[in-house]
Structures are given as structure tokens and as C-alpha cells.
Structure 1
């Protein structure tokens, strides 16, 4: 843990982020042979997991030449560089991670943490999935989401359009839709 992760250039990287919390269910789901094999089958070459405060340690994978194809780290002062270099992002449902990824125009699978109480994050993720800006999954449905995903069907998010988010927040707070 905490080791320096090499350059991500010339690779098709899946960047997985759980934010600052513990979301072992997401890390475990990505670390299953089925999910890893499906990602590799879809042409992704590397998986990089930011695992936050989690205690589950994913299994590092290397190929014959010794280069890592699955790596992990706990925290970084900024994940912006990892997001920019990623070909696909699999993220927890934190609004910062979601909107930073969407602004970069990266394909995004948001995995909802069902262990959180009063999970307004799932409402945001589901609303953005309904609008075709991202794909939404649960840890137990991540594999099926990857099998069925068509990243070309995603609609680019326009950062200046705050109305859908404002409506969602108002609905969550109990204000009527206008």
C-alpha cells in the first residue's frame, strides 16, 4: 500500500475510486475473477483501485513481463490525474467523484454503497443514469453492468446545467417540483 503507481500512458485503464470512505464491497466486486476477466475481455489493460479506508486488499496481478495489470493504493492528494488518464471509471456515488468524471467526458459506472444510511447519493446516481450520463450498479450487479455496458450510448453531461441536480436536491428536501 502507498507505493508509487507507475505511468498510465499507452494503456486502457479502469480507475476505481471509493473516495475517503470504506467501501470494501466495491473493491471486492472489482477483484472477482469474473469482473476482471470481463474488463480485460473488453480491451481494458489495467485496473487501478483507490481503496480509501477499506481493509480488503485486492489481489495484485502481473503479466509475464512483470508489469502490473491490477494495482491499488489507499489515498492520493488528488485523483484528477488518474481520472484524466482512465478509459473507464468505476466510482462510489459521491457527487465530487461523479461530477469530476463527467466533466472529463469519461465513461462512468457508479456503484451505490447500500450500507450507507439515508443514502441520497443513490438518488443522484440513479437520476444521472436515467438521463444516460452514466451507468449505475450495486456491488452485486457490477459484473452484469459491465457485461451489458455500451459506453457509446452514454450522453455527455453539460456542466452548466444545474437544473436536474437542483430538482433532485429539492425533491430530497421535500420541496415540490415546479
Structure 2
């Protein structure tokens, strides 16, 4: 099937509002206009009703054994604001829209999303404005840098006098 694929993930949480929002015909029509024809939902432990759409294939799964594979197959990822999910997607160099769950109390996830958006690594929003954010140009997002795997070891070696 030609076209582009979206991966929606709520992680291990319950974020039915995100699943319901993306399953809405207005959002699906925008995604279709943007060239997407497949959406894979990872719905966690939430409860949801599978939606149907004339031009987009919608698939729903609770969890994936190979989460990285789902990210790699995606042309766009729409995720909850969990740090693990965000970093996993960014390290795979995939465009990312983070949807903050505004129903959580003391939501520290907003701070992470704000910081990552400040550097143009992702766009973030709430379910209420996802429609507007989908219309932003994802090609303007900056690729997340590859971490230096030897930095910490080099620092320890220097401190110990080995370097």
C-alpha cells in the first residue's frame, strides 16, 4: 500500500482522549490530505472504540513487542509526552508531535515537551489543538543529535588520570 504511515502511541498509560481525538473524522481527513493512508494505534491499557475511515487504514493494538520497528515504519509519530517514548522516537530521527495529557495533575511532561520544542526537535500540543499542529510544516523540525556514547567514559578516565 503506497502512501505514508502514522504511528500513534500512548505508551503504557491510559490516554483514551488522544486515541479518540486522532480517530475523529476531522483529524483523519487532515491526515489523508497530508498523504497519510495508514494509522497504527498503540492504545496501552485504555478503552477505545475502533473507528473506520474510507481512505485511511486504521489498526489498533494494545502493545508491541518490537516498539522500535513500529517507529521505524512510521513517517510521523504522534505520542503522549512520556520521556521514554519521546526520546525513543527522536533517536530514530522520526518527525514527532507530542500530545500532552492536560487531564493529569502536576504534569511534568509539559516541561519536557516545551524544552524539546524550543530546540525544534518536535511540536507539542494538547488534544484540543492537534488539528492546528498537524498543519505545521514537519520538514522544519530539527534532527535530534546522536548522543556521544564515549563522553562519560572519557570524563571518568580524565578524572582518574588515565587520559
- Bucket of the pairwise TM-score, normalised by the shorter protein: 0.7 to 0.9
Q: Normalising by the residue count of structure 1, what TM-score does the alignment of the two structures yield?
A: 0.78
- Determine the structure 2 residue equivalent to 1:103: 91
**Stretches (4+) displaced over 3 A:** 60-63
Q: How does 1:1-178 map to 2 (within 5 A)?
A: 10-61=2-53, 69-147=57-135, 149-160=136-147
**Inter-partner Cα distance in structure 1 for 2:67 and 2:54:** 23
> RMSD across aligned C-alpha pairs, in angstroms?
1.6
- Secondary structure of the 2:36 match is coil
1:58 Cα offset (Å): 3.0
Contact kept, 8 Å, 2:18 with 2:99, in 1: the verdict is: yes
Q: List alignment gaps of at least 5 residues for structure 2.
A: 149-163
- Cα deviation, 1:84-138, whole Å, max 9, x if unaligned, reads 0100000000111101111111110000011222211111011101110001010
Deviation at 1:11, TM superposition (A): 4.1
Residue 62 (structure 1) shift: 5.7
Q: CA deviation at 1:31?
A: 0.7
Flag the structure with larger Rg. Answer: 2
Q: 2:6 touches 2:36 (CA, 8 Å); kept in 1? A: yes
Deviation per CA, 1:48-107: give whole Å up to 9, x if none. 1111111122303465xxxx7111111122311110010000000011110111111111
Structure 1 unaligned spans of 5+: 1-8, 162-178
**Shift in Å, 1:145:** 0.7
